[in-house]
Structure 1
Amino acid sequence: MDPAIADMPILLKTREDAKLDLVMSNSFGFGGTNATLVLKRWAGK
């Protein structure tokens, strides 16, 4: 990894035990096919 960004929180391994409330996934494809998916944990009633 580049030492200039060594302190950035970059996930390098899979974490199954992470307690996440909000996640985002970006997908960039050829020909301008781009998508972003944002998911937030349901708080419920």
Structure 2
Amino acid sequence: MRLGHKTLFILRIVTITQLIYQYRNKSKLIKRLRDSTYENRIS
């Protein structure tokens, strides 16, 4: 039982960290897109 709980806990941490990385990458992409659209408007 203990081992099962431990592995589940580790899996949960891994999935959460993956979600955080995905969210960060998405926000970076969005920022880049915003910057490019802003530059296009000026020129």
TM-score (norm 2): 0.21
**Larger relative CO (CA 8 A, sep 6+): 1 or 2?**
1
Higher helix share: 2
